[in-house]
Chains A and B, each alone.
Chain A
Amino acid sequence: MILLAEFESPKVEYATISPLLIVVGAAILGVLVEAFVPRAWRYPVQVGVAALGLLIALADTVRVGLALDTLDAGLLARGSLAVENSMVVDGPTVFLWGTLLVMSLISVLLFAERRLEGGLTSFAGQAAALPGTDAEREASTRGIEHTEVFPLLLFAVTGMLLFPASNDLLLMFVALEVLSLPLYLLCGLARRRRLLSQEAAMKYFLLGAFSSAFFLYGVALIYGFAGSFELADIDAAVSASSGANAYLLGGIGLMAVGLLFKVGAAPFHAWTPDVYQGAPTAVTAFMAACTKIAAFGALMRVFYVAFGGASWDWRPLMWVVAILTMVVGSVIAITQTDVKRMLAYSSIAHAGFVLVGFAGVYAGTGDVVGVTSVSSVLFYLAAYGFSTIGAFAIITLVRDAGGETTALSRWAGLGREAPVLAGTFAFFLLAFAGIPLTSGFIGKWAVFAAAWAGGAWPLVVVAVVMSAVAAFFYVRVIVAMFFSDPVDIKPAVAVPSILTTGVITVTALATVALGVVPGPVLDLAQQAGAFVR
């Protein structure tokens, strides 16, 4: 009951949420660049704006992280609510922000790669021109490119930063849309195989809109139950309610659908292979790493903070989804004949492994703390993000006359053609498979340990078995590359500029480092502590 006379302007903690503002500022600057800078200059300026914006935001995130308030309540919960309680900047938020910004910075380098397409980016020259028309050819010969991809990426990053930092379901929905819409567009912008790319974008959009509707309806039901959008209020209402409430349970189920769609969990995963395959590979890399990070952050925040009191109601659901996701991802990946699709199913399987850590709901008890669910998931996401971007970056390099060659049969004998490249790819695959001394091993170990400590040991047994199955199809690719005879028409391995080379080097080094000395990052994830309510 706020009377107009009492209206106060909302209090915004600019110093706390500044990383977000920097990114959105850079995105808007990018739009202005598009409007005012001559075409010839746009590419370098846009790349500069995007990279610099993300870099400054990253530095700022570090500052925010160091300045987090320490709350004495609970386990290591640090941070505070912001912007009239609609946002929360706490340990997990800062960790996720840092990870997201690093990953998007790496993605910008992939977006900016120009040597592979003869001096142009791998995005469509003129998206409006129909595929196969004169207009398209003309755009191509005149060397036109869409530098709008950089501001689009920044807008998506804005949504991703906001998504896990929302303390209010309405804001979370807005964030969901802000992160999704630019991605839909980006998916349709491939320079080669444009119809496939546009089809992917269309599918992603339709299904994304469909899942958003579920999410929104879930939000409405929850509002009906709790009378508030704020997570802390919902938590209070959950704790206060006795017995089962259909509004609450329905809301939980529907919101779960919306969030599980974004992480690519079965049975809401059907879009993943088509979209991963059709989208420009740089976008796929960005999506595979960043969307998953943001969506898991939001999933944990909603389910741990708002629905934590009802966790015994949603745990069975999450157990089933986790098992289904691991099985679907691992088993169907076996029959894939396309490297990008195989990695898409692998990403589904990995979503399942992360869900194992999530569904363990272990926050540490009494004297033995160990790895908590939150810290293990955070670490896993960081580890997986690096390897994924690296793997997709390598895919951009294996090409023939028609662009990238992703058919697995064409990769046969690649180990002889390009031993270093194939060796690096094999290394990423071993990381996905969770072989020790790679980040994947520590990540898997952390989520499984957290789930086991949380009592979800049957889930862990399934996960360990499934990771053995998953190892199988990764090895299949290694076998194809190193142990099979090359096909007649060999794909060429393109020599990229420093940008892609840099991305592959950095991600490979990160994958080694997180496997050999995971201490510092695990420590950071552990320091991130629990969510602030």
Chain B
Amino acid sequence: MSPLALSGTPLASGEAGVPVVPTAVDGVFSLLWLVVALPALGALVLLVGGRRTDRWGHLLGCAMPIGSFLLALVMFVQLLGRDHEDRQVAQTLWTWLDVGDYTVQMGLLFDPLSALFVLLITGVGSLIHIYSVGYMAHDDRRRRFFGYLNLFVTAMLVLVLADDYLAVFLGWEGVGLASYLLIGFWAHKDSAATAANKAFVVNRVGDLGMSLAVMLMVATFGTSSFVGVSAGMPETSEAVATVLGLLLLLAACGKSAQVPLQSWLLDAMEGPTPVSALIHAATMVTAGVYLVVRSNFVYELAPVAQTAVVIVGLVTLLVGAVIGCAKDDIKKALAGSTMSQIGYMMLAAGIGPAGYAFAIFHLLTHGFFKANMFLGAGSVMHATNDDVDMRHYGALRKAAPITFATFAFGYLAIIGFPGFSGFFSKDHIIEAAFGENWVYGVGALLGAGITAFYMTRVMLMTFFGERRWRPDVHPHESPAVMTTPLVVLAAGSLVGGVLILGDWIVEWLEPVVGPEEHHELFVPAIVLTGLIVLTVLAGVAVAWSRYGPSQTIADTAPTRVSAATRAARADLYGDALNEAVFMRPGQKLTAALVYVDDVLIDGTVNALAALVGGTSGTARRLQTGFVRSYALTMLGGALLAIAATLAVTLS
């Protein structure tokens, strides 16, 4: 009984995705709630405890995610020992909503998919917590920082462990809030406050998709739990599935910084670097991929929505890569790269059963090598008095050897150097893309070439060439508390590829996303792999020729550049494009605020915002303060009300 009155014949259940059928928790799994509760407790103590906890706050902040990680590891091992069918366990905590026939249990679902996410979040999260002890050592608000980090970990765990879309939405908003607090952590910088607001607003646009999707689920299935929705999907029409898929995609675009909602991620680099590593590289921004893979039972019935996912992924992977080429700010170059890599994941997720497992595989390896490089960038900034301009770096490999070595591992992984984790994960995605459609494949291949170019550029400008340091900068290696996590992550970047040995990850995820469909390629896989390696080498070679040790790098960015470079520097006009693509009133109105509110927020001004800002100002002038004009408004309204009522019926 869909109120949308979408009609259509139910699809044959044979094509449906995999229904979620969990068993109740027992044994060690009954401690599942503790995985979420530990960081929640940490956040509570640190944020409520105030200054009393300053001295040991950071230690507690580290202990909590480590505790969660160990617990999750035990459960993961337990899950490994179980049969395929028993690998979904659910724990019900309490009844959140109970209205008539509609019930939302606050429940957790630990299955192969969420298990991998929990390990990533708590594992990489713990390393970043440890790193932050050193990175934030001189900040007198360090305790608060750890409180926010713990809050983020809690919300992220709720997002991936929840067994109901409404509860996912809770985590979804929670990570948004934590991200907002952390981007704006250094609010004394105007740019940080503005960036925090931008992230919040753009994410709200994505959240619209999520809330409407939940509404539609409740209206269609009478429930929003994974179990209920996955069971109900085969009986529904393709139209409902398509709308649901597109709404979820909108949500995913907002959180994962996919075109057209990508603009906030670059600005979000204003936050402290560990935040960029944890939230804006390894975990939160991959939530969109999680959502799509988790909702495989929706997308399997909505080919149109799947195609939309692929296109979004494909466009973003190219856009992100191009933006990454033009940035001199090391963090922004990495941010462009993050967008691009998540584009790969979305592409794979949109392909369907042939790609789900590889999307998650790339997500995990990316979690390692991107966190590694972000923390490396943080270490470089630590060495250069928080300078982010790569034109002021150069020859840092001798001054910070450990940072250099670990960064190099991340670099080799992301460009897909044979043997490193990224090689395996990207290779599979490009293969799957070619198997689906050669356009997808060529796009993904091109992306790999550009990735090699801009990452080599980052590498060369930072660690090679001649010294272009500012006079007062004396680069030095970071303390052990920062380099140790780097070493661990570098090791992960190298060996992460083992997950694919014997197709382990594909089989592991089978209970969630179904068996992999393998498409025949037009050439043997080894030939395609060779082609990818050649493309990557070409990208490296181009970068070497332009930024190699023999080249001189200008101290300031050259201004006489091609239109393409200018466009890439301006994030391919992402902000302007955003306004143009999203003609929704909400988007206009939100832009209006940025304009109107120039006292508090130095917002980006554009023509559209000016227009709507003007409207708002005029509307305010209607509030004259004269009671006679108010009365006149009321009279007019009353006349309209009566006229409307009469017109509707008497006409």
Contact = CB atoms under 8 A, between A and B. Distances in A.
Interface residues of A, number: 87
Nearest to A455: B3
Contact of A468 (B205, B218, B637): B205
A315 to B, nearest CB: 9
Nearest to A341: B623
B219 A249 contact: no
Contacts, number: 221
A328 interface: yes
B645 interface: yes
A55 interface: no
From A261, A446, A449, A473, residue with most partner B Cβ within 10 Å = A449
Interface stretch (B192-200, B416-424, B477-485, B550-558): B192-200
Nearest to A372: B100
B549 interface: no
A224 interface: no
A330 interface: yes
B644 interface: yes
Interface string A188-208: 000000000000001100110
Interface in B589-647: 589-590, 592-593, 596-597, 599-601, 615-617, 619-620, 623, 625, 627, 629-631, 633-634, 636-638, 640-642, 644-646
Contacts of B212: 460-461, 464
Interface string B141-167: 000000000000000000000000010
B174 A469 contact: no
B140 interface: no
Nearest to B94: A517
A271 B200 CA distance: 32
B523 interface: no
A464 B208 contact: yes
Given A442-B97, A465-B586, A271 B215 contact: no
A371 B100 contact: yes
A381 to B, nearest CB: 16
A270 interface: yes
A246 B646 contact: yes
Contact of B102 (A271, A370, A468, A471): A370
Contacts of A437: 170, 174
Contact of B630 (A252, A271, A375): A271
Contacts of B630: 203, 207, 270-271
B184 interface: yes
B99 A334 contact: no
Q: How large is the interface on B (under 10, 10 to 19, 20 to 34, 35 or more residues)?
A: 35 or more
Contacts of A268: 633-634, 637-638
B619 A483 contact: no
Contacts of A257: 634, 637-638, 641
Contacts of A377: none
Interface in A342-379: 364-365, 367-372, 375
Given A207-B630, A472-B201, A479-B600, A464 B211 contact: yes
A227 interface: no
A211 B634 contact: yes
B561 interface: no
18 contacts: A203-B627, A244-B649, A249-B642, A253-B646, A254-B638, A270-B630, A321-B641, A369-B101, A409-B599, A437-B174, A449-B102, A452-B216, A468-B207, A468-B590, A472-B204, A476-B600, A482-B187, A519-B98
Report, nearest first, the 7 A-B pairs whose CB atoms are least far apart.
A369-B100, A267-B637, A253-B642, A270-B630, A483-B187, A465-B586, A244-B649
Given A452-B219, A468-B207, A522-B97, 16 more contacts: A244-B646, A270-B634, A320-B644, A331-B589, A331-B619, A334-B596, A449-B219, A457-B4, A465-B584, A468-B208, A468-B586, A469-B590, A472-B201, A479-B184, A482-B184, A523-B98
